[in-house]
Amino acid sequence: MSDGYWKGLLHSAVYAPQRWAGQPEILRRDLELMRKAGLNTVTLAAGAWPWLEPREGEYAFDWLDNALATLEENQIKVILCAQGQVCPAWMSRHYSGAVRTDEDGTRPVPGASGGLCPSHTARRKKVREMDEQLARRYGTHPAVLAWLVTGMDLPCYCPSCQKAYRSWLRKKYETLGALNEAGGTAYSDWEEVSAARPDGGNLCAAMDWDDFCAYQRAELLHLEGEAIRKGCPQARIITDLLPAQGGEEADLTLTEIRPDWRAGEDSSSEWKQAVRAAFAYDRTRCAGRPFVVRQKSGIKCLRPGLLMLSQLQAVACGADGVEHAVWRQLPGRLDGGAVVSRNGSAETRLFRETAEAGQVLLKLPFVGGMGTRASVAFLYDGRTPAGLTALAAAHRCGDPQKVILDHYAALLENYVDVDVLDPSADWSGYKVVAAPLLAVFRPDMPKRMEEYIQRGGHFLLTFGSGLTDENGTAVPGWPPIGLNNVFGVGVEDCDPLLAGQTNSFTYDDQTYPAVFCCDILRRTGARMLAAYEKDFYRGQPAVTKRPLGFGCAWYLGCHSDAKFLRKLYADILKETGIPHLADIPYTQDLMIRRRTDGKRTCTFFMNFSSRVQVTAGHRLDAYGCAMDTAWAQE
């Protein structure tokens, strides 16, 4: 951490000592193994409410008292969990409706993560009481580093939440007529309104339901944070909610990720999984506060070297710590991924690699708190995942998230650092802004884009952009809304390309495929860089560019392959003079990231393939990583 609250990098694991409270020999062995693994932090009491309050009003804190005392003696800090996510079995028996309701009307079993109804009054009261108990008892404990409050995992469709949703809509739209106008619906009474199905194609309804669920998550975070700070006013709070998602009251962010290594089509490459992880890290980093990464195990075992590489990737992308999702394999669980298996051995490959990674992290304390200086902004509207799903369902043409990640990957393959920003953020100082599939435009977006380009910025939009206003309501005119004169194009129609269907275009004397869908563009001042080569819109623009003021507006009317996207971004970066992180040719599966504090710079070279790579003066083994450190010249 950079503020003195914690020096260096956190190396943590989620630990459940309550499962072995009657077996002190296991707890002693765990502490010995934690020291060998280089852990300096653990997360305690995750989902532990059933052990903390086995019967209503009857508290059992002895096991947690003992665990905290022992960890303090061994100089291991603790992140203590709030208890709002997992309910004890007695909750559902004593309080009808406290357990969340699925979309089909069924309820999960008590004890499941995210299994509580966010609107239930008694549930909220009991969560507050439990969190206040913990804060009063442990708020000043010297071992407690911070408190973890996680958001609601899954939405609840019970009558109470449906009623709360309608109240939320009333506040937003004020009248039923305004709701009908925005969503193209014909409700005659508020009681007819219910939660949206994301596959229904109604972008407005999908976004409203997403925003309401985000509101509920933020409300619960506030409730638990208030309870903790009532018992411990100086508490440092960690949450998995970004500030834009309602997590602005927290001090740090926990990003939980399951990269699913070895789940791709290419058995020799982990590039796609690495890109997905890097995107999540960059988005979290750009929220503006320190963050820690919790890495959950995927379906398959990690290849040798991948554990170390995945942890160093998180650090390279801005994390100030990494956490293993499970320390010791739990009783009754057959899944793998725990650092310590059931036999408690330190001789397993996974434990040895964890210990090796721990030693490397201990040697990098100066990296904690370093930032990233990017010249490229990548706009991603995290408010509208359901909206993107609705868009894909309407066109029946694939996964929009894949399109977004393909663009992001192309920038990484040009070896530049990228900031992933919410569109409402300030991106005026970047040389290049990429905004693929930016379907929703807030009212100020067209003006901000035009001013940015006029001042010298290069802005890339793609098909599927500028379709609706901030409510998900289609606005009359040619997309992108309000920007036809800026980008010099207007979208007359869009031709979805179904599975197996392609078009093509030629760019810089090279032919590339057009996939996903093809915007049929009306040109109003842009220069055509490439044209479609098939179907009834043959000869119409696929890629355009329009100089405006001191900058340029780029428009890509279709999706294409990695080779084209890499070439397109290389041309844009060359025009803007953005330097690469290393002066090397493109090397498949190589990721380069940089962190700096203005005085010292650390550049990470990461090989996400099973091949040995020699690049930038480094020999990278399969799934290997190297780092260059340089001091700024006076």
pLDDT, tens only, 351-379: 999 999 999 999 999 998 899 999 999 99
List pLDDT tens digits, range 22-40.
Answer: 888 999 999 999 999 999 9
Q: How confident is the model at residue 200 (pLDDT cuts 50, 70, 90)?
A: low
Residue range 192-199: mean pLDDT, rounded: 74
> Looking at per-residue confidence, does 570 or 120 come out higher?
570
Question: Looking at the predicted structure, is the pLDDT value of residue 5 above 60?
Answer: no
Task: Give residue limits of the domains in the chain.
Answer: 10-153+217-367, 376-576, 590-631
Question: Looking at the predicted structure, is the pLDDT value of residue 396 above 80?
Answer: no
Q: Is the dihedral of CA 499, 504, 507, 511 positive or negative?
A: positive
**Which pLDDT value is given to residue 336?**
66
Q: Quick one: what percent of the chain has pLDDT higher than 90? A: 64
**Which pLDDT value is given to residue 6?**
61
Most confident of 3-17, 286-300, 450-464: 450-464
User: CB 485: neighbour CB atoms within 10 A?
Assistant: 15
Strands (E), 258-395: 291-295, 321-324, 376-379
**Which pLDDT value is given to residue 2?**
46
pTM of structure: 0.93
H-helix segments, 87-202? 89-94, 121-138, 159-173, 176-183
Interacting residues of 421 by C-beta distance below 8 A, sequence separation 6+: 286, 377, 378, 379, 380, 427
The domain defined by 376-576 carries CATH number 3.40.50.880: yes
Instruction: Find residue 609's DSSP bridge partners.
Output: 269
Domains 10-153+217-367 and 376-576 share a fold: no
Query: If DSSP codes are grouped into helix, strand and coil, which group holds residue 18?
Result: helix
Question: Looking at the predicted structure, is the pLDDT value of residue 1 above 50?
Answer: no
**Which pLDDT value is given to residue 585?**
94
Question: Looking at the predicted structure, is the pLDDT value of residue 108 above 80?
Answer: no
Burial class (CB in 10 A: 0-12, 13-18, 19+), 356: middle
**Which pLDDT value is given to residue 634?**
44
List pLDDT tens digits, range 139-156.
Answer: 999 999 999 998 766 788
H-helix segments, 342-462? 349-362, 385-395, 400-412, 445-454
The domain defined by 10-153+217-367 carries CATH number 3.30.70.1400: no
Inter-helix orientation angle 159-173/203-231, to 10°? 110
Q: How confident is the model at residue 383 (pLDDT cuts 50, 70, 90)?
A: low
Q: How confident is the model at residue 448 (pLDDT cuts 50, 70, 90)?
A: very high
List pLDDT tens digits, range 498-523.
Answer: 878 999 999 999 999 999 999 999 99
Question: Looking at the predicted structure, is the pLDDT value of residue 225 above 50?
Answer: yes
Q: Quick one: what percent of the chain has pLDDT higher than 70? A: 92
Residue 481, CA atoms < 13 Å, CB-side half-sphere: 20
Average pLDDT, the chain: 89
**Which pLDDT value is given to residue 114?**
55
Asked if 408 contacts 420 with a C-beta cutoff of 8 angstroms, the reply is: yes
Q: How confident is the model at residue 245 (pLDDT cuts 50, 70, 90)?
A: confident
**Which pLDDT value is given to residue 498?**
84
